[in-house]
Chains A and B, each alone.
Chain A
């Protein structure tokens, strides 16, 4: 087990104008489960591949433990990787797949068999050791890929969207299994996903990337409660945080004909750019207030989920016939007493639940 450090690590693909990963600075502690998350093309997989040695590092360096591995080939890095499509060797049995790395490392046959059997037992694969990958289900293949990684007892596990080929139910089930397994093994893990729910549920810390730049790296709770900028605020959380931009006025920010109160000092700093301020509030941060006290919204769509109901609402005064954008504000509410479609509500934001961003720089203002 070891720490992992990205020190200004940069990757520029040939003929590309912008770096795929731009001066990434990240320190991952020994035994930590770090999730890299972001939309397609944000550089999360490239970062992982740089750590694996499958992608060149054009500037900066990558360290595993105290060792600079920037220019070392993958086999000298003591890592194991789980690929999105599992990349199992089709002509080898499950046992041979899992033992291949050990065979290459010169581990003797008996020891190899022992370690493969041990890993197979953990992953409930013992009865499939003699089968070829094509005779396995998707979930079993995924476990073989995991087995191939853990059998080596590497310093770092790298996982590149290992759940994205599974169906929704199996994904949730496997998600918890992987998290539990990695905790039990205590191995440093870097996990790439585009699914923010996976990121929030699995990671000790989550690093959010966009356009090759690290936006924020923090615990799931901190990311949710104190997003560093508008992108992170909108990316983390489902449904996403409501983000509305309006002019700074006396006492707050004007949103849809009402003023959301923001402390004077915070408002001044947020409006320093262009006088506009972006405010964000989570769907669960809203509550009903008396007429004229908050923002008035019109309920356009009601989604019943059983445990919750989501109201997709339009700020009063906006164009309510815009079917492509039926909602400005999403509200989470009690499913049993949810307002009906077409109702008009007055809403306020709970104390302390308003996030304030500078509309010009998109950065959080405290």
Chain B
């Protein structure tokens, strides 16, 4: 199969990427990438992965070694010592378990409620629909900081301080999620499908469950991924609502290496411990999630 990817100027190579190969049966697929493309992509990948790599390197040296010039570039054997130090200094094991619980609950809640609300806003007719949607979207413009004090007072009244529900409940629905699901369902779910369901004898909830959810699945997967990551990385509110006795990962990390001289190597080792579960989950689920996104794109 002839290729247009000749070594040469950058323009040649870029054009190669954009223009699908048309000659021959197999050539109908997208064209081959040229060396410049590979170089650019490799650079991008390296830049993206560097922070993680640096976490591993810094987490496997002592504080003094990291501060040296030039800094070390290869991991060292002290990684496990630093892990041990981090686990001794903060309840990271408990924090990971808490974060898994909190992030999963928030993800399940957000995906379920946002899909329900998105479906209602996209396809159901009810009075005050426009106003309600404007209200929901309007909440996106209210800064989190503004609601922290009243929220904390409510949590305190409920005696939920330092309990996980204090972190889970306020974020069970997100305005962005509602808007995201609404936009997806407006275009992806034909009205006739809902009408067919009604004629077939389905209740609104049954239509939601048997017809809307399967159609919405790609968007739900994307929303789940975004929500899980946001919840896992959330620091501000959990730091206020929880203490180091019952922390999430980010709260626990904040308490690490916080002596007179910050122990960067221990902080990095702790950070690595806190990031690993998410990395593992997304390495395993990555294909399904990307598959979901692609499926949505093809179905339109």
- Measured in the bound complex, the distance between the Cα atoms of B201 and A81 in whole Å is 12
Q: Which of B70-78, B88-96, B191-199, B222-230 contacts A (4 or more CB under 8 A)?
A: B191-199
Rank and list the top 4 A-B pairs by shortest CB-CB distance, nearest first: A87-B192, A75-B201, A91-B214, A101-B200
Decide if A85 touches B199 in the complex (CB within 8 Å). Answer: no
Given A85-B192, A87-B193, check contact A75 B202 (CB 8 Å). Answer: yes
Is A311 an interface position by the 8 A CB rule? no
Decide if A75 touches B195 in the complex (CB within 8 Å). Answer: no
Decide if A91 touches B202 in the complex (CB within 8 Å). Answer: no
Is A104 an interface position by the 8 A CB rule? yes
- Measured in the bound complex, the distance between the Cα atoms of B196 and A52 in whole Å is 10
* CB of A4 to closest CB in B, whole Å: 15
Binding site for A on B (CB under 8 A): 190, 192-193, 195-203, 206, 210-211, 214-215, 299
Q: Which residue of A lies closest to B211 (CB)?
A: A89
Decide if B200 touches A100 in the complex (CB within 8 Å). Answer: yes
Interface residues of A in 71-101 (CB under 8 A from B): 73-75, 79-81, 83-85, 87-91, 100-101
* CB of B26 to closest CB in A, whole Å: 23
- Measured in the bound complex, the distance between the Cα atoms of B203 and A81 in whole Å is 17
- Measured in the bound complex, the distance between the Cα atoms of B203 and A141 in whole Å is 25
Residue of B190, B203, B215 near A85 (CB, 8 A) is B190
Is A54 an interface position by the 8 A CB rule? yes
Decide if B193 touches A89 in the complex (CB within 8 Å). Answer: yes
Decide if B199 touches A91 in the complex (CB within 8 Å). Answer: no
**Chain B neighbourhood of A87, CB < 8 A:** 190, 192-193, 195-196
- Measured in the bound complex, the distance between the Cα atoms of B213 and A90 in whole Å is 12
- Measured in the bound complex, the distance between the Cα atoms of B215 and A87 in whole Å is 13
* CB of B238 to closest CB in A, whole Å: 37
**Chain A neighbourhood of B299, CB < 8 A:** 90
Decide if B202 touches A104 in the complex (CB within 8 Å). Answer: yes
A–B Cβ pairs within 8 angstroms, 17 of them: A53-B198, A53-B199, A73-B198, A74-B195, A75-B199, A80-B199, A81-B196, A85-B190, A87-B193, A88-B196, A89-B196, A89-B211, A91-B214, A91-B215, A101-B199, A104-B200, A148-B200
Decide if B198 touches A54 in the complex (CB within 8 Å). Answer: yes
Interface residue tally on A, bucketed by range:
20 to 34
**Chain B neighbourhood of A81, CB < 8 A:** 195-196, 199
Is A16 an interface position by the 8 A CB rule? no
Is A168 an interface position by the 8 A CB rule? no
* CB of A255 to closest CB in B, whole Å: 48
Given A91-B214, A91-B215, A104-B206, check contact A52 B199 (CB 8 Å). Answer: yes
**Chain A neighbourhood of B190, CB < 8 A:** 85, 87
**Chain A neighbourhood of B206, CB < 8 A:** 104
Is A110 an interface position by the 8 A CB rule? no
- Measured in the bound complex, the distance between the Cα atoms of B189 and A91 in whole Å is 12
* CB of B216 to closest CB in A, whole Å: 11
Decide if B211 touches A74 in the complex (CB within 8 Å). Answer: no
- Measured in the bound complex, the distance between the Cα atoms of B146 and A135 in whole Å is 53
- Measured in the bound complex, the distance between the Cα atoms of B190 and A105 in whole Å is 24
- Measured in the bound complex, the distance between the Cα atoms of B202 and A148 in whole Å is 14
Given A87-B193, A89-B193, check contact A74 B214 (CB 8 Å). Answer: no
Residue of B192, B193, B199, B202 near A79 (CB, 8 A) is B199
Given A91-B214, A91-B215, check contact A54 B199 (CB 8 Å). Answer: yes
**Chain B neighbourhood of A75, CB < 8 A:** 198-203
- Measured in the bound complex, the distance between the Cα atoms of B203 and A105 in whole Å is 11
- Measured in the bound complex, the distance between the Cα atoms of B217 and A91 in whole Å is 11
Q: Which residue of B lies closest to A86 (CB)?
A: B192
* CB of A136 to closest CB in B, whole Å: 16
Beyond the given pairs A85-B190, A87-B192, 16 more chain A to chain B contacts, judged by CB atoms under 8 angstroms and listed by A's residue number, are A52-B195, A74-B198, A74-B201, A75-B199, A75-B203, A79-B199, A80-B199, A87-B190, A88-B196, A89-B193, A90-B215, A90-B299, A91-B214, A91-B215, A104-B201, A105-B201
**Chain B neighbourhood of A52, CB < 8 A:** 195, 199
Decide if B215 touches A54 in the complex (CB within 8 Å). Answer: no
- Measured in the bound complex, the distance between the Cα atoms of B299 and A75 in whole Å is 29
* CB of B187 to closest CB in A, whole Å: 14
* CB of B19 to closest CB in A, whole Å: 29
- Considering residues B190, B200, B206, which has the most beta carbons from chain A within 10 angstroms of its beta carbon? B200
Q: Mark A101-142, 1 if CB is under 8 A from B, else 0.
A: 100110000000000000000000000000000000000000
Q: Which residue of A lies closest to B194 (CB)?
A: A87
